[in-house]
Amino acid sequence: MITTMRFVATCSAVAPALLALLWLSAVRASASAAAASAPNIVFILADDLGWGDVSWHNDQVVSPNMQQLVDTGVQLEQSYVQPLCTPSRSAFLTGLYPYRLGRQGPPLADLTPTGLSLDHTLLPERLSQLGYATHMIGKWHLGFCNWAYTPIARGFDTQYGYLLGSESHFNHTVGNGYDFRDQMEPEFTANGTYGTHLFADRAVRIIEEHQGSDQPFFLYLALQNVHLPLEVPDEYLVHYPEDLDENRRVLLGMVTALDEAVGRVVQALKDTGLYDNSVIVFSSDNGGVGKESNLPLRGAKGSVWEGGTRAAGFVHSPLLQGTPRVHSGLMHITDWYNTFLALAGESVLPDNDGFNQWDSLVNPSVASPRTSFFYNLDYEGEEGMLGALRLQDHKLVITKRRDLVPGKETEPWLFNLIEDPNETINLVEVEPGLAMAMQVLMLEELQNVVPKDQPEADPAGDPSNWGGVWTPGWCDVP
């Protein structure tokens, strides 16, 4: 067969359009061949799940399906996310620290007329180019004021779930509007059914539809549990004693419901014969809301303390070696971008804030390529520089004065997280040279901080203007 290069060399008179078509066909054929052997990727992101809300950190929690995956997989003990949900989701889908995107601030509010920057290629777009089918289920929370910000426009073949940051688990309303869609259309039949059940049903359906296909798939399953409001069917409460604090009892019931959904996804992969060539990753998007959810770690959701940023997570796959084991190498949510691209067969990985972690995950003898990361970074007027930096075993924290413990307003805070994982001993005066060097690294990085993308709320997006449904179409894009 004459190669494309020889064909071009010997047929210089062929119209450029025909040559372009031949080149495109060759690229597509190459991508299809590579995709045929690439693994399916299932990324499960729990919402507001704390360090102490999982059975492998707290034996009070009933999560047998996830526990079995941990017991036969790789438990992630140094895997970090952002302090809040929108920033974490932004980092995951771009491979960039949120402060490079203007997303280092609070989560996107319901009427905020903006979304995740359109200047960057999201992970599902890259995977589509490599021959993957791409599916998004659950919570989006990356902007919806214009259709250009929504999942179908950002590289997903299918989308099923809600666009805002939180809603009722049963009736799928946020304030005065309904928020649940199948593709781009409102899905009113979801009303009255528990969200996690719906998401698991759709995940199983997608997996079943891929049975027998040579095309690999990427499934982003962004589950709603255990985000407020605290709601769960009564059947999940029987696992927990009635004398337990009621809010804590419901939250743990929500964990068990989440665990059931994870179990159904894994069983569907096995039933369809897709399990042996699949990689399953589980992570929380940030720490739990209450400090009890994150014990013994310090802090909670919204903070750069370990309780707000150190995620309960694991990787499970028959492709892993030497399991079960605990992986203590440093990881950050930005790493999944390049890791998944490498799994998909991409030979030239993008230059972003992430690392390809696959070799260190699949092989216990390979160390993590990451030695540092920024928890968050910003500059706020009189407060000055805010954020935190991890450098090998040490962590430097510069936080708002009002966030410090009264009577102990020492800035910055320096911890050795290997010796002091719960951040109790400030080493600034013990290791002032290291503290200063890390602070200089943070100051140097400030040049990459993009101002927060946080415009004023726009009442044009109120559901009363859109038939009682939260609907895109009320803002322009840059």
**Same domain? 341 vs 387:** no
Asked whether 360 and 368 are in contact (CB, 8 A), the reply is yes
Q: Which residue, 355, 371, 387, sits at the end of a domain?
A: 371
pLDDT of 74: 98
Q: Which residues are catalytic?
A: 85, 141
pLDDT of 36: 60
How many other β-carbons are positioned within 10 Å of the β-carbon of residue 328? 14
Helix, strand or coil, per DSSP, at residue 373 = strand
**Residue 331 parent element (H or E):** strand 331-332
Q: Is residue 455 part of a domain?
A: no
pLDDT of 399: 83
**Same domain? 322 vs 197:** yes
**Same domain? 356 vs 441:** no
Q: Which residue, 371, 391, 409, sits at the end of a domain?
A: 371
Domain count, the chain: 2
**Same domain? 323 vs 381:** no
Q: Is residue 6 part of a domain?
A: no
**Same domain? 260 vs 402:** no
Q: Which residue, 336, 371, 406, sits at the end of a domain?
A: 371
Q: Is residue 474 part of a domain?
A: no
**Same domain? 390 vs 309:** no
**Same domain? 270 vs 174:** yes
Q: Please enumerate in sequence order all residues whose Cβ is within 8 A of that of 61, keeping only pairs 6 or more positions apart, or say none.
A: 53, 54, 55, 252, 255, 256
pLDDT of 35: 58
Residue 182 belongs to domain with CATH number: 3.40.720.10
pLDDT of 290: 87
pLDDT of 68: 98
Instruction: Show the low-confidence residues of the chain (pLDDT under 50).
Output: 1-34, 402, 404, 407
Residue 385 belongs to domain with CATH number: 3.30.1120.10
**Same domain? 196 vs 314:** yes
Asked whether 162 and 181 are in contact (CB, 8 A), the reply is yes
Taking the CA atoms of the chain, what radius of gyration do you get in angstroms? 23
Q: Is residue 171 part of a domain?
A: yes
pTM of the model as a whole = 0.90
**Same domain? 168 vs 302:** yes
How many other β-carbons are positioned within 10 Å of the β-carbon of residue 327? 22
**Same domain? 165 vs 194:** yes
Q: Is residue 463 part of a domain?
A: no
**Same domain? 404 vs 364:** no
Q: Where in the sequence is the domain holding 400, given as residue range(s)?
A: 373-448
**Same domain? 95 vs 119:** yes
